[in-house]
A and B are shown apart, each in its own frame.
Chain A
């Protein structure tokens, strides 16, 4: 027994502790990628399909978080159970936003659309501030601190739940995009905005659907955030920023690429956090450095 262990050591293999730390880090990264992918997919639908840079995406997430929080405070409903309701409400919000604000500026220059969604973002965030105040609010569920242990590795229950739900939801989304006629229409529009109109696909309906779905996905992510983080008027911002970066890394219009991009970035973050001394302070920089390098390198290679 001792010989075996000494032999293991002499070969210079990583110790069991190091392996465990590595595995745990990778798991942490993958679990975190769940919400990233959810928020990014929502944004990818808005940007890639409708062609709108939606600065207000974070506010949709925030609305989802507040819906979960208010339901929890009012009726004691577990936030994860309010996912369906949040999705429906946000779909409605997205549809109304599309019809009222987005459709009029579809033909306008991209920059105008940016200003519009930016103004919307400011208005929504501050309405929330007025209504609820700047307080950070947390919900209380029985499983918030729970953890699953499998062979020395721990899986936090809320991140695991969030990851699992993200997988299911994104799976359904991609199933929809791949197999249904409407889904294929969405993908077609994402790849080329003009052609589908020529081919008889009703782009307006597709846009409405895509934008509504985008908001619904954001809302679902918001519900998860309310459990894992908190609900407040500013909860959506940090994730939205990263979502923009992720979809750009995946490639605009490439809805499929969002999940791998989210995983790569989440893993990079986890590895830096764990292995770089003082890594916590560098995580953001590394995230964006990876994006920067990926974007620029890809652009030069394509030449």
Chain B
């Protein structure tokens, strides 16, 4: 008799545990064939592993490639919502794609955790949607962070800045603002567009020799990093600082001597001195066998972890309960502390990170180290750089 009771109790106990563990399906919509998208996916998977290992909640991922274009992303989201029936979607890396997704998102009403999409155009599009959690800083945050750095350089004697910007949406978005604000800071500005990937900067750089810029600031992609670095030296343009702002840098660039003293802006480096970051790097290395430079990886990781916390606190799979708990999440991350507040413009109700996550780094002898803001610098900025 006792044995039967014990078995019954055990079964009930297990059933209770099973019920107590919240299982939720989460859709992941990322451009998997791009470097940033793959890194983001890895980060999300790493985070989900952590969450599931905790035992209290279980996240099941449904991963769909958004093809990095509206024509493929929109049907992909539709599939996630109607076929896979997820209530939560992690996605929105590229701004143009995320903008196109705004329509279907508002139609299907998922809890949308946005990993990228810096363009203000996207902020405008989602301003009337409440289940939108935007983790990544907006473009005006990026501009503000860069301007802070420019102010510091101005205080160190820089007066003339030449801006090379790629003539696509990434490069052209902030250029007017940069021009205005830099001139207000006291700089003389000359701005030139270029076609990213063309590799031909000799003409523009030759023309800039007459302008004698103190800072050569280029906004483009990883494919432009080496040509600009090489051709600046080839034409004999000698700025005091080469400062680049691509979303990523080419592989092997740090091993190239031309990278020395080139500065850039990023949200995160593997060498950042922060417990969460170190933990992330170790976990990532254990799972994927390498150390990644892409900041989208820890970003995906943070999203998964924050979602895990919200799930635990909510104790249910109801997306609104989860959203309510997510809004209250406060945690330490590789980027610093995370909490959700309305954005500076007020258009985003749940904005995660802002300009404070950006740090300026400088290449030197094969490694990248933070040099600004001063409270996060691992070594001093070399200004003027030796080019």
Interface residues of A (CB under 8 A from B): 17, 21, 24-25, 28, 32, 73, 129, 133-140, 142, 144-147, 149, 154-159, 225, 228-230, 232, 238, 269-270, 273-274, 278-281, 283-284
Q: B167 touching A280 by the CB < 8 A rule? A: yes
Residues in B whose Cβ lies below 8 Å from that of A24: 206, 235
Of all chain B residues, which has the CB nearest A144? B230
Question: B344 on the interface (CB 8 Å rule)?
Answer: no
Closest to A132 in B: B251
Contact, CB under 8 Å: B202 / A28: yes
Q: Which residues of B does A touch, CB under 8 Å?
A: 33-35, 38, 164, 167, 192-195, 197-200, 202-204, 206-207, 210, 221-223, 225-227, 229-236, 250-253, 255-258
Report whether B223 and A232 are in contact in the complex, using a CB–CB cutoff of 8 Å.
yes
With both chains docked as a complex, state the minimum distance between the C-beta of A224 and any C-beta of chain B, in angstroms: 11
A144 to B225, CA, bound (A): 13
How near does chain B come to A215, taking the closest CB pair, in angstroms?
22
Q: Are A140 and B255 in contact (CB under 8 A)?
A: yes
Chain B residue numbers with a CB within 8 Å of A155 are: 234
Asked if B194 and A280 sit within 8 Å, CB to CB, the answer is yes
Q: List 6 A-B contacts (CB under 8 A).
A: A138-B251, A138-B253, A139-B256, A144-B226, A145-B229, A145-B257
Residues of B within 8 A of A144 (CB): 226, 230, 256-258
Given contacts A24-B206, A270-B202, 9 further A-B contacts (CB under 8 A): A136-B222, A136-B250, A139-B252, A155-B234, A228-B199, A228-B230, A229-B226, A274-B203, A280-B195
The residues of A that contact B230 with a CB separation of less than 8 Å are 144-145, 156, 158, 228
Q: Which of B206, B223, B232, B255 is close to A230, meaning CB atoms less than 8 Å apart?
A: B223
CB distance from A16 to the nearest CB of B (A): 13
B103 to chain A, nearest CB (A): 28
Nearest CB in chain A: distance from B219 CB, A:
12
Q: Cβ of B167: which chain A residues have Cβ within 8 Å of it?
A: 280-281
B235 engages A137 (CB within 8 Å): no
Q: B195: which A residues are within 8 A, CB to CB?
A: 280-281, 283-284
How many Å from the CB of A4 to the closest CB on chain B? Answer: 24
Are the CB atoms of B206 and A25 closer together than 8 Å?
Answer: yes
Contact status of A32 and B223, CB under 8 A, knowing A25-B206, A274-B207, A278-B192? no
B226 touches A156 (CB 8 A): no
Q: How far is the CA of A17 from the CA of B229 in the complex (A)?
A: 24
CA distance A73 to B251 in the complex (A): 11
9 residue pairs, one from A and one from B, having the closest CB atoms = A156-B234, A273-B203, A145-B233, A280-B194, A140-B256, A281-B193, A136-B250, A281-B167, A229-B199
Q: Roughly how many angstroms separate A157 CA and B222 CA in the complex, as a whole number?
A: 22
The CA-CA distance from A146 to B233 in the complex, in Å, is 7
* Least CB separation from A272: chain B residue: B203
